[in-house]
Amino acid sequence: MSGFRHGAGRLGDAQLNFTFDGKPMLARAGDTVASALLANGVEVVGRSFKYHRPRGVTSSGPEEAGALVTIGAGGKADPNARATMEPVTQGLEVFSQNCFPSPKFDLMSVNGLAGAILPGSLFSAGFYYKTFMWPAALWYKFYEPSIRAAAGMGVPPKVADPDIYDRIQMFCDVAVVGGGSAGLSAALSASQSGLRVVIFDEHNDLGGQLLNEANSDQNADLEQWRKDTIAALEAADNVTVLARAVCWGRFDGNMLAAHQSVDGKVRQNYIKVQAKKIIIAAGAIERPLVFGNNDKPNVMLASAARRMLNHYGTATGKMLAVFTNNDSAYQTAFDYSDAGIKVSAVVDSRQYPSEALVDGCMSRGITLHTQAVVTEAKGWQAVRSIEIADLAANGQSVSNRRRVACDVLAHSGGWTPQVQMAAHGGKPPIYDKTIAAFVVGDQAPDTYSVGAAEGENGLLAGVAQALEAAKAACAELGGTAGAVTAPPQDRDGATNIVPLWSVPAKGKQLVDIQHDVTAADVVQSHSEGFVSVEHLKRYTTLGMANDQGRTSNVNALAIMAECRGVSIAEAGTTRFRAPIAPVSMGGFAGREIGKHFKPVRRTPMQEWHEKAGAVFVQAGMYMRPQYYPQAGETIDDAYERETEHVRKKVGICDVTSLGKIEIVGPDAAEFLDRVYINMFSTLKVGKARYGVMLREDGIVYDDGTTSRFAEDRFFMTTTTAKAGPVMAYLERCLEIDWPELKVRVSSVSERWGAMAVAGPDARATLTAAFPSVDFSNEAFPFMGVVHAEHNGAKLVILRISFSGEMAYEVYATSEHATDIWQTVVDAGQAYDIVPYGLETLGALRIEKGHVTGAELDGRVTLGDVHMDGMASKKKWFVGKNLKQREGMVHPDRPQLVGLKSVDPRTPISTGSILVTEANATAGADKQGWVSSMTYSPELGSFIALGFLRGGKDRIGERIYAAYPVKGKNVEVEVVSNHFVDPTNDRVKG
């Protein structure tokens, strides 16, 4: 129990209650879970991944690597939440992770015992590659399941997420990433130009490092500056302040992405901002030092210990020690001392810290050890003392070890500018020796890195850089940035760092405390030849946990550089990629979940079908009626009834989903001649023709019916699935391939509703429905086109048949389509008309032998489906050249056949493979497959369409449709694919 509540910091008095592993705790409004836990004296928050070592709070921000908790329970559980970023709310439930039964007493910590006994860990880097291989069977049966069971950190919820997420798209002129002193200044200055500004900050309270400052009288003017600047931004009309927003990616074209936590109905907003200029003021985060047991709870970054005290009013311990290689950590010691908390030592690895710092220690009675290091943090569960030693002049060894008591150790290995956002998109950062850090250097276009994010830690100097950037950004957009008041105090940015990448002493020195990767692992990786930083990362897994290596990457590559004997610049960094912090997946989905995942296209008659009790099925983006069951019918009952009914009487089917395209112009016929395999320039006005299009490689692309309305006007239909692609294809042909053709194309798919009316009584039905039209065979022959009007609706009626019965397709302008449908249905009552769905549409067309997408699957040729005769020999058309390739006309190619079940009552399953053996097993000669099947009421048998090697010459042969998945083998007879009315008498009657 080291931490305690000390003063107010900047938080108010409002008390909150929350629980940690069920235990009641107190907090104040504005606390994070981390600051509250520390204030309640909690030290051990969870356990580490590999060794199950105790973990506590290590930072006060997004770089948190130790205090990962699960917030909430059930469907609202949020695993792997960083305690330093989660605000406490009334009644919040917080749970520890990766430990059982509790963080303090964890059974899996035996993993770490092996480390206590052996000098080097059994579980060193890449250990799993070197073992678990014998006996072979045990890998899958035992080793792997054991590894998997121990994997992961938090437990994810197992029920659906009940929360709502929104997606928001914003546009702005200047985006500012980071709400510290630099970011605030840049945003305010830019906003005064009148340009649109968006500013992001990850925390609830803006101010960045200003929040580390003591909330004292001496700092009152600085605090006022912070508040005033924020207030001015919030008041400005042209500024959007996004707090609690993690800006995690910068993409091509100056697009930024962020996830913002909000309260209320919506849990998070996924915000994309399209900016013109981006100012990156993302600050810097402190680096840890690498020494023995540096992962022990209550060993934390110096600036974090400082923020806990000064902002949250949480003293992290009763006796503070500080270990540092640079100036900045001293302020933590001074602030704690000035707050009346004992500071047992400042341990500085440098030989000569500045006089001001030495005096600062002396005047406060703080013992200063120079040219000294901490070799080990000691204490059972949390730090209770440190072992320190003198550092040799050459930095290679230590001597004179002694103990110093403390219950919190604040350390600082330097500062790492947050260059990730600036580096997205490829340019690697460069190493600056003077500050021992990577900076952006070469800025991406339209991007400015300023302040600590570019290595400038000084307060006024950073603000000055930010204002320069705002001025430049605005100027390039034609605006003038405004003058803003600078902060009333300065803070020296120079850290006078002397790098100390690891302490030269044996012991478990953690580099990545999330994945338990030690300095020794890095050395071992080097000795095994994994020396590139990419190999190092993948071999040791360092930097691959939730914290993404924010506090470990630089230390690790510096150690590797030392092993290799190269400069840090040469060792380089791994590639920076979005996201720079883990972001929840739900945000990306937003509200487009469930039924809203993709839009549903509806036809004008959709409601009619719903009222008629249709069962719907997915057909592309549409939900089309599959069948209209009558009382007690199964799908098979329904479609068999509907099919028979259409063949004997009359039925009506909604075919609106077909693509419809108008093609207009003096060269329209020539155009169609080029895209279709058959001739359309010879098509007479008032007639329709079935057409097939090929791809340029000779494969069948789409089919449809095209009608000629006038010399220069055609009306094309396409399949449902290809409506969009064919439209784009035609536009492409006209704009790119044949711009000389005078043709316009227009999609009219949504302009027309469409219905098929089919059956022996179709003519009578339509005559009754539309008395103004002459439907007699002489006036309206097969493949004829008639235009009509009815009750204000424009109609186009084609006499074409997909079903093989006498049939018409009636196209009506969309706003009237339902009326027209109803008109036909009403007129059809006298003829016992029924609606029929896709299942029946399928049964009818299979009986007739027409092909659909089930056959034309992007792999078949005209020859395969017996349509090569349709292709004109007189003209060129797309695909003509490559369809002649040897492999495309090979006689062994599978060809379309009809299949009739030898036992009429035995169904032939689609997806069956055609073989000649009765009981085909592995190795059988596969000769084809079944593509569509149906029960045929007319034939009283199950039938199918399929493809069979050399099929057209095998009519009459008996083969088998093998379905090994269910152990079935159905004997079938190969027949012509035209089962019903092969001479087309019905359609032409």
Contacting other proteins within 68-107 (CB under 8 A): 75-80
Per-residue x/- marks for other proteins, 263-302, CB under 8 A? Answer: -----------x----------------------------
Shorter beta-carbon distance to other proteins: residue 647 or 845: 845
Provide Rg for the chain, Cα atoms: 38
Position among 158, 265, 874, 905 found at the interface with other proteins (CB under 8 A): 158
Instruction: Please state the closest distance from residue 881 (CB atom) to other proteins, in A.
Output: 4
Position among 8, 14, 362, 593 found at the interface with other proteins (CB under 8 A): 593
Shorter beta-carbon distance to other proteins: residue 586 or 665: 586
Distances (CA, A) of 355 to 281, 320, 330, 492, 799: 31, 22, 12, 15, 100
Position among 159, 235, 393, 631 found at the interface with other proteins (CB under 8 A): 159
Rounded to the nearest 5°, which phi and psi values hold at 234? Answer: -70, -30
964 contacts 908 by C-beta, under 8 angstroms: no
**Which neighbouring-strand residues pair with 266?**
164
The Cα–Cα gap between 361 and 373 comes to 17
Where in 12-77 does DSSP place strands (E)?
15-20, 23-28, 46-47, 54-55, 68-71
Angle between helices 533-540 and 519-527 (to 10 degrees): 120
Write the single-letter amino acid at 175: A
Instruction: Please state the closest distance from residue 548 (CB atom) to other proteins, in A.
Output: 7
Q: Does 1 bind other proteins (CB under 8 A)?
A: no
Shorter beta-carbon distance to other proteins: residue 156 or 613: 156
Position among 24, 91, 340, 594 found at the interface with other proteins (CB under 8 A): 594
Instruction: Please state the closest distance from residue 582 (CB atom) to other proteins, in A.
Output: 4
Shorter beta-carbon distance to other proteins: residue 432 or 528: 528
Shorter beta-carbon distance to other proteins: residue 100 or 352: 100
Instruction: Please state the closest distance from residue 725 (CB atom) to other proteins, in A.
Output: 9
Q: Does 59 bind other proteins (CB under 8 A)?
A: no
> Which is it for the CA torsion 66, 72, 76, 77, positive or negative?
positive
Instruction: Please state the closest distance from residue 941 (CB atom) to other proteins, in A.
Output: 20
What is the three-state SS of 588-603?
HHCCCCHHHCCCCECC
For residue 804 the two structure tokens come to 């093989």
Instruction: Please state the closest distance from residue 384 (CB atom) to other proteins, in A.
Output: 27
Biggest distance spanned by C-alpha atoms of the chain: 115
Shorter beta-carbon distance to other proteins: residue 154 or 207: 154
Instruction: Please state the closest distance from residue 132 (CB atom) to other proteins, in A.
Output: 5
Shorter beta-carbon distance to other proteins: residue 129 or 352: 129
The Cα–Cα gap between 564 and 559 comes to 9
Position among 18, 539, 770, 979 found at the interface with other proteins (CB under 8 A): 539
Instruction: Please state the closest distance from residue 73 (CB atom) to other proteins, in A.
Output: 12
For residue 635 the two structure tokens come to 């799908």
Per-residue x/- marks for other proteins, 25-54, CB under 8 A? Answer: ------------------------x-----
Shorter beta-carbon distance to other proteins: residue 134 or 380: 134
**Which neighbouring-strand residues pair with 544?**
none
Instruction: Please state the closest distance from residue 509 (CB atom) to other proteins, in A.
Output: 12
The Cα–Cα gap between 186 and 450 comes to 9
The Cα–Cα gap between 45 and 97 comes to 8
Among residues 812, 814, 836, the alpha carbon closest in space to that of 642 is found at 836
Kindly report the number of other CB atoms within 10 A of residue 434's CB atom.
10
Instruction: Please state the closest distance from residue 570 (CB atom) to other proteins, in A.
Output: 12
For residue 702 the two structure tokens come to 């789409």
Rounded to the nearest 5°, which phi and psi values hold at 456? Answer: -100, 100
Q: Does 854 bind other proteins (CB under 8 A)?
A: yes
- Tell me the window of 151-159, 224-232, 338-346, 414-422 that interacts with other proteins (CB under 8 A): 151-159
Instruction: Please state the closest distance from residue 854 (CB atom) to other proteins, in A.
Output: 7
Position among 390, 697, 819, 938 found at the interface with other proteins (CB under 8 A): 697
What is the footprint of other proteins within residues 712-731 (CB under 8 A)?
Answer: 728, 731
Position among 46, 112, 154, 417 found at the interface with other proteins (CB under 8 A): 154
Q: Are strands 46-47 and 54-55 parallel, antiparallel or unpaired?
A: antiparallel
For residue 166 the two structure tokens come to 């929104």
The Cα–Cα gap between 482 and 707 comes to 66
What is the footprint of other proteins within residues 927-986 (CB under 8 A)?
Answer: 929-931, 962-965
What is the footprint of other proteins within residues 735-794 (CB under 8 A)?
Answer: 735-737, 739
Shorter beta-carbon distance to other proteins: residue 595 or 611: 595
Cα atoms in the 13 Å half-sphere on the side-chain side of 381 = 15
Position among 18, 20, 95, 165 found at the interface with other proteins (CB under 8 A): 165
Cα atoms in the 13 Å half-sphere on the side-chain side of 520 = 16
What is the footprint of other proteins within residues 108-137 (CB under 8 A)?
Answer: 118-122, 124-125, 127-134, 136
What is the footprint of other proteins within residues 598-617 (CB under 8 A)?
Answer: 598, 600, 617
What is the footprint of other proteins within residues 420-449 (CB under 8 A)?
Answer: 425-426
Shorter beta-carbon distance to other proteins: residue 251 or 352: 251
Coil vs helix vs strand at 401: strand
Q: Does 577 bind other proteins (CB under 8 A)?
A: yes
Among residues 930, 924, 937, 923, the alpha carbon closest in space to that of 970 is found at 930
Position among 73, 102, 142, 156 found at the interface with other proteins (CB under 8 A): 156
Rounded to the nearest 5°, which phi and psi values hold at 798? Answer: -110, 135
Instruction: Please state the closest distance from residue 79 (CB atom) to other proteins, in A.
Output: 6
Instruction: Please state the closest distance from residue 819 (CB atom) to other proteins, in A.
Output: 30
Per-residue x/- marks for other proteins, 904-923, CB under 8 A? Answer: -----xxxxx-x----xxxx
Coil vs helix vs strand at 270: strand
Instruction: Please state the closest distance from residue 507 (CB atom) to other proteins, in A.
Output: 11
459 contacts 493 by C-beta, under 8 angstroms: yes
Question: Counting Cβ atoms within 10 Å, is residue 253 exposed (0-12), middle (13-18) or buried (19+)?
Answer: exposed
Q: Does 397 bind other proteins (CB under 8 A)?
A: no
49 contacts 37 by C-beta, under 8 angstroms: no
Report the chain's terminal Cα–Cα distance, integer Å.
96
- Tell me the window of 182-190, 451-459, 734-742, 816-824 that interacts with other proteins (CB under 8 A): 734-742
Among residues 909, 904, 940, the alpha carbon closest in space to that of 640 is found at 940
Among residues 858, 23, 883, 30, the alpha carbon closest in space to that of 5 is found at 30
Position among 151, 356, 362, 830 found at the interface with other proteins (CB under 8 A): 151
Shorter beta-carbon distance to other proteins: residue 151 or 710: 151
Q: Are strands 894-901 and 659-664 parallel, antiparallel or unpaired?
A: unpaired
